[in-house]
Amino acid sequence: LTGTCWLMCNLVEHQINKSARADLQSEAVAFTANYSTDAAEVYYNSSLAAWNYQTGISEENLNAMNAENVKSAAFTKMYGEQAKAEFPDTSKLEESERRQIDSIKILGTANLNEADLNQYNDLTGGMEATYSTATVTMPDGRVLNLDPDLTALMATSRDYNELKYAWKGWYEAAGRPIRDDYESFVTLSNKASVADGFADTGEYWRSWYEMNGQLEATVDALWAELQPLYTELHAYVRRKLYEKYGSNYINLKAPIPAHLLGNMWAQQWGNIYDLVEPYSGKTGVDATPAMQSQGYDAMKMFKTSEEFFVSLGLDKMTDEFWANTMFVKPTDRDVVCHASAWDFYNKVDFRIKMCTVVNMEDLITIHHEMGHIQYYQQYKDQPIPFRGGANPGFHEAVGDTLALSVSTPKHLNKIGLLDEVEEDDEADINYLLSQAMDKIAFLPFGLMIDKWRWSVFSGDTPKAKYQEKWDQLRKDLQGITPPVERDGTTDFDPGAKYHVPANTPYIRYFVSFVVQFQFYQSMCNASGHQGPLYKCDFYQSKEAGAKLQKMLELGSSKPWQFAMNEITGSADMSTLALQEYFSPLTAWLKQKNLENGDTPGWTDMDWRP
């Protein structure tokens, strides 16, 4: 009798537990559905207010944006607290609801009280406005904005002192004024993150990758595999700059002066390709002259990009995209020119904000930004918490993956932007070096910015050390040195890079520059490509498009390792595809540096021109 009672009692208890779990699951399904419905409206309004401010910088639009941010924070707090109260333990829920509710519980800046939140919004809006309206007055009286003026000057001038003046002026105009504000921002940001159970904001950002605290170790390991190629490229470029500017300005055993690499931040070096080209007389891969002679404008550049996506069987841009996108810089108001893609959460309104210039660099940027839009479109039917990349690096990689195909001589020839494709080893080295000046040169910069911010958020780098830490990371990782002495008490060079005042995490770009080669290799295989990886153009391959689409549709509904496996057949981030792509160049650089007697790396760390 006792045994029978025990068995019956356990069966009853099992049925009760099973019923309770079913009820809990049913409640979770209803809760998450209601959240997505309500969130779509709230996020549309906050996104629209942010768009209005960034495409029309004014006090009125700033106040309107901040007001919507306050409403958005109140919404986040309301649902987050409800989620915590009704679902304190999500382990018994099915995966979809568990992942959504765990996400909803993270309040972020909604944790802040009203006064702190208002201060936070004022700080972030003000820092971004300072960046976007900064100008440099040159010795001849010209007043230059960053875009397009300073960007063009850094890309085309070969006057050492003019470049130095522009570089110094920008870092003082954009960075210095926000140094104090940034310290206040860090305090408030950390306060919000600690309330969510994180040690600081850096730990919160790293949690997005679902790697159990191993993200930093993983990216360090990836960098260790790629650093030898970077140092070979650095040594080769340094030698070419030495030949151009001479020993007074370039030391063959020291870091490179930051203003000589064709870009305000020395993050990508493609604009000085003319100084480093291995073999002259070969057909170049810069489509800019052809674009300009054929009458390309911003709209034609965007249509060209859209056609590439459509050729893979992916979606066209929506009518709302074409009606609402900011294609060129307005002449009647200040705007944030930094290119960005926007999702307005209503499944049809997607936009890009860009001050387009007719050149190949911006054609590639358009493919990058339209890759974000394609991702938005593919996961638009997912619940709101899942409308994001599998991890932030995936979102950055999509358009760049297509751009690897777009930038091939084969493709440029196919669409009429290159007259002929030269098939010889010298032309191939030229092409690979032009790619490396962007893809390989960027890697340490992509790693450095968040290494700096993580140390700031953690408290390891206090305000007094902001500039010193930045300069040290640039030397150690990039082999770059500022062209003029920096003042640790007034200078704030990190603030002169958009993503710092705009509070946009950056390690995503390093991750992207690795995984995009994995995506590219997989799509090339799907398209039936034969031959060296760097020659692959999967344009018009529906098979390649289907491979990509399968990953895009997931959004963030699964851990990124699942999404990675969907497109590549492996769950790991790996540098092997990147190394295969650049393998002929790697061998060539090693040989060329050996012939020149140049040792990769930099030992005269404190040398300054």
Catalytic residues: 369, 499
Report the distance separating Cα 138 and Cα 153, nearest Å. 11
Report the distance separating Cα 515 and Cα 499, nearest Å. 21
Helix residue ranges, H only, 246-359: 273-276, 288-293, 298-311, 319-324
40, HSE (Cβ side, Cα atoms, 13 Å):
17
Q: Encoding tokens for residue 446? A: 């992509």
Residue 228 amino acid letter? P
Question: Which helix (DSSP H) or strand (DSSP E) does residue 25 occupy?
Answer: helix 2-54
Report the distance separating Cα 96 and Cα 41, nearest Å. 22
Helix residue ranges, H only, 90-178: 95-104, 114-133, 151-156, 160-170
Q: Is 169 helix (H, G, I), strand (E, B) or coil?
A: helix
Peptide bond into 177 cis (omega under 30): no
Report the distance separating Cα 312 and Cα 236, nearest Å. 38
Q: Encoding tokens for residue 234? A: 């650095």
**Cα dihedral 227/339/372/531 (nearest 10):** -50
368 marked as binding residue: yes
Pairing of strands 340-343, 256-257: unpaired
One-letter-per-residue 3-state SS of 411-432:
HHHHCCCCCCCCCCHHHHHHHH
Q: What are phi and psi of 284, to 5 degrees?
A: -80, 170
As beta bridge partners, residue 136 has 144
Report the distance separating Cα 590 and Cα 424, nearest Å. 20
Residue of 262, 304, 264 lying closest to 287 (CA atoms) = 304
User: Would you list the DSSP string of 439-471?
Assistant: HHHHHHHHHHHHHHHHHHHHTSS-GGGHHHHHH
372 marked as binding residue: yes
376 marked as binding residue: no
**How many CB atoms within 10 Å of residue 15?**
10
Give the list of residues 6+ apart from residue 465 with CB closer than 8 angstroms, or none: 488
Cβ burial 549-576 (10 Å sphere, 16+ → b, else e): bebbbbbbbbbbbebbebbbeeeebbbe
474 marked as binding residue: no
395 marked as binding residue: no
Q: What is the DSSP letter of 489?
A: T
Helix, strand, coil percent values for the chain (each to nearest 5): 65, 5, 30
Question: Which helix (DSSP H) or strand (DSSP E) does residue 280 occupy?
Answer: none
Would you list which residues are annotated within the binding site for Zn(2+)? 368, 372, 396
Would you list which residues are annotated within the binding site for chloride? 209, 508
